Structure 1
Amino acid sequence: MSNPPRWLEHYEPGVPATIEIPSIPLYQLLVESAFRFPNHVAVKMVLKYLPLGLAIQSAYTYRQLHELSDRFAAALHGLGIQPGERVALMLPNLPQYVVAYFGALKAGAIIVNVNPTYTPRELQHQLADSGARAIVMLSGFYQRLAQIREQTQVEQVILTDVSDTLSWPFRHLAGRQLRAKGLIADVPPAPHIHRLDELLQRHEATPPTIQSNPDDVILLQYTGGTTGVPKAAMLTNRNLVSNVHQLLPWFTRLEPGNERVLGALPFFHVYGMTVGMLFAVATGGTLVIVPDPRDTQHILEVIHREKISIYPGVPAMYTAINNHPRVKEYDLRSVKACLSGGAALPVEVATRFEEITQGRLVEGYGLSESSPVAAANPIYGQRRVGSIGLPIPSTAIHVVSLEPDETGDYRVLGPGEEGELVIEGPQVMKGYWNRPDETALVIDRRGWLHTGDIGKMDEDGYFYIVDRKKDLIIASGYNVVPREVEEVLFMHPKVLEAAVAGIPDPKRGETVKAYVVLKPGESATEDEIRAFCRENLAPYKVPTQVEFRSELPKSQVGKVLRRLLVEEERQKQAAQKAAQSANPSEDGQGRKVATK
C-alpha cells in the first residue's frame, strides 16, 4: 500500500483528501440553491452609486434566476437549438450572462465562451471552429458579427444591452451613456435577430426535457492562444461540478447562503466563471457583478458598500487596490478570502492587501484545461512564499521528466527536482475540440494533463512554478527565469508593475529586458533600476535594457502577455534592419556611419 501524498499533512482541518462527486448536470447547482435559498439575492449588478444612498443597480433572487433560465432554455428550443449544438456567449459580466449560461445548459446546448473584445477575425475563427448556431451578445457588438457571419454557422442572434435589467428612469439614463460609448447600437430587424428580454417574456418557464450525462461536453473554453491558434478545451458536467465541489471545502470558513462574492473577473474566462460565478451559485451566496474590472474606484466602493466577503482576482487587481490614492477612505474589512490566479502573486502585493483588508489572499494555480483550479495555498493554514500551494482534494500533481523514456512514459521526479507539472484529477478536460492530435500531446495514456509549466515540489508537498517552457530566457547559454527577475523588480519601492522577457540579441542569442510601470508620481532611471537588480541578482540575470511604460499589455484577466512584448521587439529590430539596408550610410538608429 503506497503512502498518502505528503501534501495532505498540510491541509487545513476539515479539508478532505478526496470528495464524492455528485453525478448531476452542472445546472443542478442553480436548481439546488433555488430550492434552499429561493428568496436570497442570487445576482446583483451595480453600475454606479449615487448620493442619498441610491444606486444604479439590478438584482435577481434565486427563484427569479431559476425561472428566467428556464424561460431562456425554452426560447432556445423554440429557435430550433438542439441538444449538443453550440451557443456562443459574447457578453461582459451581466445578469444576462448568468441567465443565458444556465438557460443554455438546461436546453442541452454546449456553451462557447467568447471574449467581447475580439476583432471580427478572431470572432470568425472561434465561431467557425466551434460551429456555434446561436450567439448572445450586446447590440453594440453586432457589427463585428455582421462582417463575418456568412463565414460561420450562426443562424440565430440574440441581442441584449447592459441597461436592460435596470428599472426606469435608470434604464433610460444609463442607456444614453452606454450608447455614447458604442455599447448600444440600433440593429435593423431581421428574422434571425431577436431581443433577449422579449424572448424571456414570450416563453413560459418550461424548459425542454433533456438527458444530460456526467461526461457530456457542456462548455468549449478557448485557450489564450499564446502558443498558436486558439483551441477549445472540452469541459464536461463532471469536470465543472468536480471543480466547484473541490473548492467548497477549501474555503474552510464558508457560510452557505451568506457569502457575497465579487464578480469582477470576466465570466467568459474559465477562472471568473468557476471561482466567481459557479462558486457563488453553489454556495447560495450573492454574486455582486462589476461589468468593468478596470474601474478600481468603483470596485473599492462595491467592496465597501456591499460587504464583499470573497474576491477572486488576479495580482493586477490587488495591486491596483493597494496603490489607489483613496484606498484608506473605504472599509474593506468584510473581505475574508481571496484566491489569486492567472499570474504569479508577488509577496509584497499579498502582504499589503492583507494589511488593508485583514482578509487572506493566497495564490492558486490552474488552466483552462483543468476547469481551472488544480492547486492552492491553504487559506487560513500554512502558506509558502512563492508557492502555488497544494493540490486540491481529489487531485494529484506530479513533476515529471521533460522527455519520455523508451517506453513512452515520463519519469516521476522527487522533491526538489525540476520538471514538467502534470495534473491528475476529475477536473481534467475531455480533450481539445476537433483536435485529437493536439489532445494526444497534452493528455498522456494515464489521463494526466501535461501543463507545459516547469516546476518542482518541496519536501512537504508544496509546488512551485519555475516558469513556462516557452518563457525561459537563454542568454549566452545561461537559463534566466523571468519570474525571478520580476520578483526583484517588484521589491523596488518605485515599481508598480513589471514584466521581463527575452528579446533577440546578436551576441547573447537572447538578452534580458525589463518593462517597468512606475508608481504614480515616481521617477527613476534605467541605471537606477539596473543597479537595484545587480544588488539582488547574479550578473547574467540583470536586465541589459529597461523600458519604462505607462501600462503593460495584458489579457482580459490581467495576465501580462510577454509574447506581445517580444513580438514588438522583433518588429522594431526588423524595421531597423530594413532602414539600414535601404541606407547603408546609416546604422539601425539612423546615425551616420563612416564609409570608405
Structure 2
Amino acid sequence: MTITLAEFPGLAAKKFGDRTALVTGERKFSFRELDRLSGALAQNLVKLGVEPGDRVTLYSPNCWEWIVSYYGALKAGAIINPINVMLTPPEVAYVTRDCAAKVLIGSREMVAPVVAAGVSGLTNVVFGSGVSEDMIPFDSLLAGPFGFEPVKVAPNATCTIGYTSGTTGHPRGAMQSHRAVATNVAMTAQMHLKTDRDVVVSALPCPHVYGNVVFQAGMLCGCTLVMHARFDAAEILASIERHKATVFEGVPTMYMYMLASSHLEKYQLSSLTRCTVGGQTMPAAKMQEVEERFGCPLIELWGMTELAGAGTTFPLYGERKLGSIGVAMPYCEARIADAKDAAKTMPRGEVGELMMRGPIVMQGYWANAQATHEAIESDGWLHTGDLASMDEDGAIFIVDRKKDMINSSGFKIFPAEVERVIAAHPGVALVAVAGVPDPLKGEVAKAYVVLRPGAAEDVDGIMTLCRHELAAYKVPRAVQFVRDLPKTSTGKIMRRRLTDLNE
C-alpha cells in the first residue's frame, strides 16, 4: 500500500461523503464529519507541540473520541501508542515511559487515576466533563478552522507501537509501519469482501489489532460500523436486528455467550451474511452451532500484534475448514517450522511452530534489539509462538500456544485439543483447560467449565466424552464448574489465571 493511515479519513470523505461511517449509541457520524473532526484535532495537537514521530498514547474504552483521536494524531504525523483498557496505572506508567509518549489522550475515568498515581511529563487530553487544571478538555481541541492537511510521512514510517502482554517481565512495544497496517486492513477486507453496503456490529476494543482492522476496514471500504463500548450478548443481538447488520465480528467467548443467551431466539439475525471469529481458537462444534443458529458462514482468522492484525484467514467464497485458521494472507507466507530448529520446515500434517513472513511483519520491538533478534530471523520469518500444522491445501490448524502446553509424565497435552472435546458437551457454555501440579506426573490437565443456563453439572458425562475422544493421558484429572473465566479486554481466555479459580 502506498498510502498512509493518515490519508484514510480524507479519501473516505471524498468517496463516501455524508454516508454513515460510525454509530455509537444514539449518535451517528458521517465519513466527512470524522475527517473534519480528526483534522481539527490534528491542527490543535500541532499547536500543543506534537511533532512528526512523537508518540501519542490512547487510553480509553471504545467511543467516537477514540476514533477521532487515532486519526487526528496520525494526521499530525505522530505515532500511536494504543493501550489496553485493562492495564493498571503502574502498567500505563511503564508503557508511556518506555515509548517516551508526549501526549496521553483518553477518558477521564482512565486518565485521572494515572495522573493521581504520579505519571508526569505528559500533556493530558481528556474526554468528557470534570476536567482538572492539569488536563485539557478534548472538545476544546475540535474547534475549526477545518481543512488541515495531514503531515506527510513515508508509507514505511512507523505508525504504531502496540505493547504485547506477556506472562513474565514487562510488555514489549511492537512497531508497525503505515504500509503494514494499511496492507493488513486492505487484505483482510478483501478476503472477507467488505463493501460500502456492509453494516458491521462489533464490540472489539479499538486498541486491539483485531478491533483496529475492523474499524479501519470501515474507513477504507465505506462500511457502517456500529461500535459498542463493551460486549453484552443481549445488546449485541438487539443491535444486529436494529441496524440490519450484515457482519458481526468477535472472539469465541462472545459467540459462546450469545449461543447460551436466552435472548438468541428473540432477535432476527437474517440480515447477517457472514461473521468472523479470532483472538483464540474456537472448537469446531461451537463454530458449526453458530453457523446453524446465525444462518451464515463463520470465518475464522488468526493474528497477533506483531502482524498488525490478521495473518491468516479464509476467503468468503473459498473453501472453509471449521477448526482451521485459514491460509496465509495475500502477499504473505506461512510455514510450519521445527520448534527446535527454525531453519527446518516440517512435513505437511506434522506439528511445529507457525512462522510468518511478509509486509505485515513488525519492524521490531521498540528499543529492544535483543527481543527483536529473537523474534525475527535474519531472512524475515517471524516466530509466532503458536504450535500448528498445515494440511496439503495450505490450511493451518492451531494446536496451542507453546507456553500453554502441559507436560504430563513426558507426554505433551495441548489445552485447546481438550477444550474442543469438552465444548461439544450440550451443557457446556465455556471451557478452558490448564495444567495443575501433580506429585507423580509433574502436571495434569484440569478443566474449568461454565455451564449453559439451566444445565446441570455433569462430571461423568464430560469425562465419558473425553475418554471416548482423547488418549488416556490427555483426559482431565479434574473438572471444576465456575461462574466465569478470567478474560482479557477482548474476551480472550487467560489460561495463566485459571489456577486462581482453584478450590
TM-score after normalising by structure 2: 0.96
Query: Which of 282, 305, 319 is 1:382 aligned to?
Result: 319
SS of the residue 1:244 aligns to:
helix
Q: Does 1:131 align with 2:100?
A: yes
1:200 corresponds to: 142
Alignment deviations for residues 371-402 of structure 1 (CA, whole Å, 9 cap, x no partner): 11111123232111321111121111011112
Alignment length (residue pairs)? 503
Q: Does 1:234 align with 2:175?
A: yes
Q: Which has the higher strand share?
A: 2
SS of the residue 2:66 aligns to:
helix
SS of the residue 1:133 aligns to:
strand
Displacement, 1:568?
6.1
Displacement, 1:74?
0.5
Say whether the 8 Å CA contact 1:390–1:462 is kept in structure 2. yes
Say whether the 8 Å CA contact 2:24–2:226 is kept in structure 1. yes
How is 1:19-168 mapped onto 2 (pairs within 5 angstroms)?
22-46=1-25, 57-150=26-119, 152-154=120-122, 156-161=123-128
Q: Does 1:286 align with 2:234?
A: no
Displacement, 1:501?
0.7
Query: Which of 343, 347, 350 is 1:410 aligned to?
Result: 343
Q: Which range moved further: 227-236 or 479-488? A: 227-236
Inter-partner Cα distance in structure 1 for 2:37 and 2:118? 28
Q: Please, what is the CA RMSD of the aligned residues?
A: 1.7
Structure 2: unaligned runs, 5 residues or longer: none
How is 1:451-530 mapped onto 2 (pairs within 5 angstroms)?
451-530=384-463
How is 1:379-458 mapped onto 2 (pairs within 5 angstroms)?
379-404=316-341, 410-458=343-391
Say whether the 8 Å CA contact 2:278–2:300 is kept in structure 1. yes
Inter-partner Cα distance in structure 1 for 2:116 and 2:168? 27
Query: Which of 319, 338, 342 is 2:279 aligned to?
Result: 342
TM-score after normalising by structure 1: 0.82
Alignment deviations for residues 84-111 of structure 1 (CA, whole Å, 9 cap, x no partner): 1111111111111111110000000111
Give 1:362's aligned amino acid: I
Q: Which range moved further: 139-148 or 477-486? A: 139-148
Cα 1:320–1:417 change in 2 (3 A) is same
SS of the residue 1:504 aligns to:
strand
Say whether the 8 Å CA contact 1:34–1:62 is kept in structure 2. yes
Larger Rg, first or second structure (1 or 2) = 1
Inter-partner Cα distance in structure 2 for 1:187 and 1:27? 28
Q: Does 1:555 align with 2:496?
A: no
Alignment deviations for residues 81-137 of structure 1 (CA, whole Å, 9 cap, x no partner): 111111111111111111111000000011111122322111111111121111111
Say whether the 8 Å CA contact 1:333–1:356 is kept in structure 2. no
Cα 1:44–1:364 change in 2 (3 A) is same
How is 1:560-579 mapped onto 2 (pairs within 5 angstroms)?
560-566=493-499
1:576 corresponds to: none
Cα 1:327–1:568 change in 2 (3 A) is closer
Cα 1:527–1:329 change in 2 (3 A) is closer
Structure 1: unaligned runs, 5 residues or longer: 1-21, 47-56, 162-183, 573-596
Displacement, 1:534?
1.6
Percent of pairs identical after alignment?
Answer: 36
Inter-partner Cα distance in structure 2 for 1:263 and 1:343? 16
How is 1:180-259 mapped onto 2 (pairs within 5 angstroms)?
186-188=130-132, 190=133, 192-201=134-143, 203-207=144-148, 210-252=151-193, 254=194, 256-259=195-198
Cα 1:539–1:67 change in 2 (3 A) is same
Alignment deviations for residues 320-354 of structure 1 (CA, whole Å, 9 cap, x no partner): 22221121121111111222111112222222222
Inter-partner Cα distance in structure 2 for 1:551 and 1:528? 20
Alignment deviations for residues 222-242 of structure 1 (CA, whole Å, 9 cap, x no partner): 112235421111011011111
Inter-partner Cα distance in structure 2 for 1:336 and 1:153? 48
SS of the residue 2:248 aligns to:
coil
SS of the residue 2:142 aligns to:
helix
